[in-house]
Structure formats: structure tokens, C-alpha cells
Structure 1
Amino acid sequence: MQGHGYAQPVKQPPDPAVLVLLRVLFVAIGWLCIGFTAWVMLLRLAIVTRRSLDWGLLVAVLAADVLSIVLLAGEPGDEVHTAGGYLGITLLLGGLVATTVYYLAADIRHFQRQRESYPAQHPMAPPYGYARPSSPYTATTVPSSPTGTQPPHTPVPVPHTPPPIPAPPQRPAPARIEQVRAELDELSDYLRKHDRHGHESGHGHGDGHEGGR
């Protein structure tokens, strides 16, 4: 049982200035030779894209160039007078225009796709001093330091709340104590006087009873 295999790695696209220079060069080769070398553009495109369609178009353009040369060579004079000569010129010039348009469009589209897919397969390296995380868990949970060691843990200071100060016991005011003491003294004097009058009245009743006897 065979697997799907590995995907072909995408090469780094050339510099845009180099691509523009190559396009101008191959188009100029085709137009300077009046279409007889238009197949050079498709040859370069087929080598770059490696598609069967481009190889097929290369063969078709080569066949059209050979046919146009044969038709033009069959003219009796230096000028074109026959239908075959006109057909040869039409094939030559029409193939040149069509080949140029197709070559430029396909070449630009090919390198644009290559430029878009290259960063996806070759991500940029992280800046110096930052370690690349090996898994999504290490990237989100444990921060990596530039030296490979974890930073020291700094304890968070806990605010200290002083214990509440008990309120001092309330003492009765001196004036209130003096007032209570004076009231007690008055009550004592009252009771002492009441007892004294009671004794005196008791003695008086006793003496009268004895005198009557």
C-alpha cells in the first residue's frame, strides 16, 4: 500500500526585477525575429511551470512556425501574392501575438502563486533572544527566557493589618460618685434620726405607764 507521498517544496521566487528583465528579453527575441522564434517564450515557460499544457503549446507553436516558413518559401517572388503566402503571414504574426500574451500572463501568474505559497512553507524565524515554542502548551503556559532559565519568583507583599485597639473601660465621672455618696449619707442620717426618735418615744410611754401604777 503506497501513501500519497510528500508535497514538492516550493522554491524561493526570484527577485521581481530579474523576472521583469527575463520577460523583456524573451519577448524581444520573439519580436525581433518577426515571430520565427516565438517558440522560445513557450520553451522557457514550459521549463519553469513544468505543465503538460505548456509543452503542448510549445509543440503547436513550433508546428505553426514551420508551416508558415514553408508557405512563405513557396512564393514565386519576394512579395506575397498567393493565398498560401497570406496564410503563412497570418500564422506567423497571429502566433507571435497570441504567444506573447499567453507567455506574459502565465509567467506572472505562476510566480505570483509561488510568492504567495512560499511564506506558508517557510515561516520567518523568531527574533534573536526569543526561543521558538515546541508545542502550543509551552507557548501559552510557560514563557521562555533568552538564557533558557526561568526568572526568579518574586513574592507578592501581603498588606499587614494592625490588630484593633481595645477601648479603655469607661470610668464613672467623679461628680456622679460624689452625688451617690451624698445621697447615701443623707439616707444614713435619715435612718439614724428615725431610730433615735423611735427609742425616745418608747421610753416616754414606758415612764407614763409606770407613773399611773
Structure 2
Amino acid sequence: MQGHGYAQPLKRPPDTAVLIFLRVLFVVIGFTCIGFASWAMMLRLAIVTRKSLDWGLFVAVLAADVLSIVLLGSEPGDEIHTAGGYFGISLLLGTLVAATAYYLAADIRHFQRLRDAYRAQQPMAMPYGYAGPASPYTATTVPSSPAAPRSPLGPHTPPPMTHTPPPQPPVPAPPQRPAPARIDQVRAELDELSDYLRKHDGHHEGNYEGGR
């Protein structure tokens, strides 16, 4: 089974200046002919859009213009006096206004859609200097070692020391002991004092007994 194949690329829409010129041209033709050429606008729109609705409107506008010409041509004089003549001129002007409004709206909408579709199918332009993905057939794989971290102070400046030693606890001082010489001196004084008291007490006792 054969598939549907690839969709044909859309052609680039005409420039905006060309489209504006054509719209103004056909509108001027319709108003210059006082509505007798309103079908020209609808014919161009049907050829451009290729829609059955626009072809049907072209036929309707053409029939309205022909009927208007017949009614106006049936007037006996150069001026309009009958109801058929008034109906013909009203139909002619009404068809001109309606055809002009529809032609401009449909033509602008149609080419706007074509312009959007044309832009959508265009590949996105890559910015200048952007390198696309490397091809697997041209790229070479070279093992690379991880880069060493760089110091913010420069390549030759040693990094600052951030480690500080913990504070040492204070060493308690040993308790001071009295010197041995001081102890001996105090002890000698105490001995002397006790000998003196002992002698003094003995002396008093001797005096007391001799008196008796």
C-alpha cells in the first residue's frame, strides 16, 4: 500500500503592498461602475479562495446585478418613476455595499491564514554563533581528566590557613606547702614556750611551800 506522501510546501503569499493594491483596485472598479461590476470582486475572491461558498456568492451577486440592470432598463425615461426602477437601484447599491464588505473581510482573513501557515512550516532560524549538535561521524571522543579546582586568589597564591588549633585547658598550679624551716622554727618556739611555762610554774610552787 502506498502512503499519502509528503505534503506539498506552501507557496509564499504575495506581499502586503500587492494585496492592498488589488483590494483597492477592485473596490474602486465596483464603485466607479455604480455597482454594475460588483461581481468582479466576488469573482476574484472565488478564484483566490476556491471555496464553494464564494462561488455561490459570486453567482448571486452576478444575478442581482443583471436583475438591477433589467429593472433600470425598463424605465420609460432617463429618470426613475416606477416601483421597479426604485427596487432596481436599491438592489444595485445594496449589493455593492454587501459585496465590498464581504470581499475585504474574506480576502484579508484568507491571506492572513496563508501567511501564518507559511511561517509555521519554515524552520526556526538558529541564532548567530550557535553551534548545532555535533555529528557522530565527525566528533572525536577524547578522555579528559576532571579539572582541578582553581583558587580565587590566583594560580600561584597558596590558599589561606583556615584551621585553628583548639584552646588548651589551663594547668592548675600545685598547692604551696609551708617550708620545713618555718615548721621547725615554730616548733622550737613552742618548745621554748612550754619550757618557760614549766619553769615558771615550778618556781611558784617552791615559793609557796617555803612560805608555809
Q: TM-score, normalised by structure 1?
A: 0.61
SS of structure 2 residue aligned to 1:48? helix
SS of structure 1 residue aligned to 2:62? helix
Farther-moved stretch of structure 1 (23-32 vs 6-15): 6-15
The residue that corresponds to 2:110 in the other structure is 110
Farther-moved stretch of structure 1 (41-50 vs 109-118): 109-118
Farther-moved stretch of structure 1 (9-18 vs 50-59): 9-18
Matched to 1:49, the amino acid is T
Residue number among 127, 133, 145 corresponding to 1:155 in the alignment: 145
Q: Distance in 2 between matches of 1:110 and 1:62?
A: 22
The residue that corresponds to 1:17 in the other structure is 17
> Number of aligned pairs?
148
Matched to 1:52, the amino acid is S
Q: Distance in 1 between matches of 2:140 and 2:129?
A: 14
Q: Distance in 2 between matches of 1:24 and 1:153?
A: 68
The residue that corresponds to 2:41 in the other structure is 41
Q: CA deviation at 1:107?
A: 0.5
The residue that corresponds to 1:209 in the other structure is none
Q: CA deviation at 1:155?
A: 2.9
Q: CA deviation at 1:151?
A: 7.7
Identity over aligned residues, as a percent? 72
Q: Structure 1: any 5+ residue segments left out of the alignment?
A: 133-142, 160-213
Indicate conservation of the 8 Å contact 1:130/1:144, yes or no: no
Q: Structure 2: any 5+ residue segments left out of the alignment?
A: 150-212
Identify the structure with the greater helix proportion: 1
The residue that corresponds to 1:61 in the other structure is 61
Q: Distance in 1 between matches of 2:138 and 2:14?
A: 38
SS of structure 2 residue aligned to 1:35? coil
Matches within 5 A, 1:116-131: 116-126=116-126
Q: Distance in 2 between matches of 1:88 and 1:5?
A: 53
Q: TM-score, normalised by structure 2?
A: 0.61
Q: CA deviation at 1:50?
A: 0.4
Q: CA deviation at 1:149?
A: 3.7
Q: CA deviation at 1:73?
A: 0.5
Q: For residues 43-77 of structure 1, what are the alpha-carbon distances to aligned partners after superposition, in whole Å with 9 as ceiling and x for unaligned?
A: 11011100000000000111111110000000000
Q: 1:124 to 1:89 in 2, by over 3 A?
A: same
The residue that corresponds to 2:28 in the other structure is 28
Matched to 1:57, the amino acid is L
SS of structure 1 residue aligned to 2:47? helix
Q: CA RMSD in A?
A: 2.8
